[in-house]
Structure 1
Amino acid sequence: MYRFILACYGVPKSSGAEAAIDITTEFVEHHPWHSNVTCTWDGERLILQADNDFDSDGLALIDEFSDSISAYIAELFDGDIKIESITNVPTEA
């Protein structure tokens, strides 16, 4: 199992808090292949944490995070998504 922390930089401050709630809901309700998903706003960036067992490099999660950001932030902005960390998490037997 992999645990990812992604961050999107450049998000408009007026949209961040609401987008974090919407993105968390989107992943929980429509992306069941990811678990333990949370998206938070720290005042500067959106931070997505999620676990999955198939995306060792995080590229699929980045793509889905990007799609969600586009869906929930109407204001155009030049953002950048970065992988903050990928951790191999042991699964319970």
Structure 2
Amino acid sequence: MSKHFKVNTSTYEAGVKIAKFVPIYYFLLIAKNIFDRYLGRLPVEESFSSIWFISFVADGILILIYILLLKTVSAGLLALSELHATDDEEKSTEVF
């Protein structure tokens, strides 16, 4: 999707942001899943440790990155739809 946004100058910035956020998001998601599997193997007596805290912080960071991705994609799609709307209007005025 970032390549699609990088084609137009009006959506280039959104494409760059998406290209930065997506690898970070997936890296954190995989790391968090590994932490969660490790935490699932711990005995119940060790119910709180710093690894739990790291897992909760990773959840929060994943949520923030997801919101930033959603905001960036929405802004890029709006700019892209406006660009296509102006192109369609120009084509329709050329016909008449």
Higher relative contact order (CA 8 A, sep 6+): 1
Structure 1 and Structure 2 fold alike (TM over 0.5): no
Structure with more strand by fraction: 1
TM-score w.r.t. the length of structure 1 is 0.29
Q: Based on CA coordinates, which of the two structures has the bigger radius of gyration?
A: 2
